[in-house]
Structure 1
């Protein structure tokens, strides 16, 4: 799932803007799950995580069923939550640089400390954590998308140009050994979401997962279709990736 600049609130507070959520089995270590939550599109080199937010993964076991002959998924009531909180940054030794500490709270209540930007992941039994800036993995040939909308036919060439080339975002990567962290009887199928939630006594969810980026394309097409007689756009287009 991916989306960038998903609305006015996300644009005004980019640290809460979820750009991507990934969940996949580790390609190197069987029995381990990798979760990735990307936020803060077009992040500057000085960008840091918000100390007023909780960045959260939520997992629930899922069972594939066929009720009445129709395939479906039954989601278990049990939930496993991994909360990531960040302290206010403090000056580092070098001029103009800041350090930021983070804490991951596991479903068992254990708190694991780590430092933002450390290239070597923080390791505890069954858990690996990284948080920091990374290249934005999203690809969109925005010029070709816009031309396709105007011409109402595909306008993509053999080689695309990524509108997000050179842009960064902030990433939280969590790898966990399912049996060690969640229990031997967990799985094999899990549902996963990512959230940004205000911290404090009255938490408010700001973003949940990432809305599909195609939403912006649809909004722009609807705007084009609603042009007035003079050919001017009636409404504003959606923010692109």
Structure 2
């Protein structure tokens, strides 16, 4: 099995995945990666339209201007995005799905067992799949081995009144407005999307899902890792 150079974590965001929609977000306020090509804005995990599939979405690089002509120059070839999946509730990744840009395409690896657990990763290239990076005028979705892939710009779906939030924190306002002002309206993020069959994830912890005890539960989080 071929492996790439070592990647080390520089940013991450997490959420627990059941068979329902869940989201975790971290816009603007992550100083270590703020404004960089490794800045994760959102992570979405949900059951697909095909109920036999999971869908994972990682959004990076928030506040991009709309109508950006291409994002081949924006996705960073030195940044690995890694979806980590814990199938036995020990809060350690048992499977990973990795995505990294090469040329005009985004390459995906996994789901497979990681070569190592923790803050450092290598890429196992034996399960390589890819999709051409989309632009606003050329949307590409690839289906391979029962999986679907997308990478490219999308309007930021996250709604948050960031200015009012800061005003509340500073004491110059006592509450949020209704309706609020969406700070992210009209701005873009770069999205990396993978849909895959649930059957690709063995295991899953039962008895801990508060909504359906017999339904397997996975802990899932996403990390941005830069080549060392």
Q: Which residue of 2 aligns with 1:104?
A: 108
CA contact (8 A) 1:2 1:21 kept: yes
- Are 2:131 and 1:114 equivalent residues in the alignment? yes
SS of equivalent residue, structure 1 residue 148:
helix
Match of 2:37 among 2, 6, 15: 15
CA contact (8 A) 1:178 1:186 kept: no
Using structure 1 for the length normalisation, give the TM-score. Answer: 0.64
- Displacement of 1:197: 0.8
CA distance in 1, matches of 2:173, 2:92: 46
Match of 1:190 among 218, 221, 228: 218
- Displacement of 1:34: 1.0
CA distance in 2, matches of 1:143, 1:6: 12
- Structure index of larger Rg: 1
Matches within 5 A, 1:25-64: 25-26=47-48, 28-44=49-65, 45=68, 46-47=70-71, 48-62=74-88
Matches within 5 A, 1:145-164: 145-149=165-169, 150-151=171-172, 153-154=174-175, 156-164=176-184
SS of equivalent residue, structure 2 residue 80:
strand
Using structure 2 for the length normalisation, give the TM-score. Answer: 0.68
CA distance in 1, matches of 2:81, 2:93: 20
Query: Unpaired segments of 5 or more residues in structure 1?
Result: 63-73, 89-99, 203-241
Residue 16 to residue 77, structure 1, CA distance change in 2 (3 Å): closer
The structure whose RCO (Cα within 8 Å, separation 6+) is larger is: 2
- Displacement of 1:104: 0.5
CA distance in 2, matches of 1:196, 1:22: 15
Q: Which residue of 2 aligns with 1:140?
A: 160
Q: Which residue of 1 aligns with 2:99?
A: 84
CA contact (8 A) 1:39 1:170 kept: yes
CA distance in 2, matches of 1:76, 1:147: 36
CA distance in 1, matches of 2:38, 2:59: 10
- Are 2:192 and 1:169 equivalent residues in the alignment? no
SS of equivalent residue, structure 1 residue 41:
strand
**CA offset digits 1:32-56 (Å, max 9, x no partner):** 1111111011124144210111111
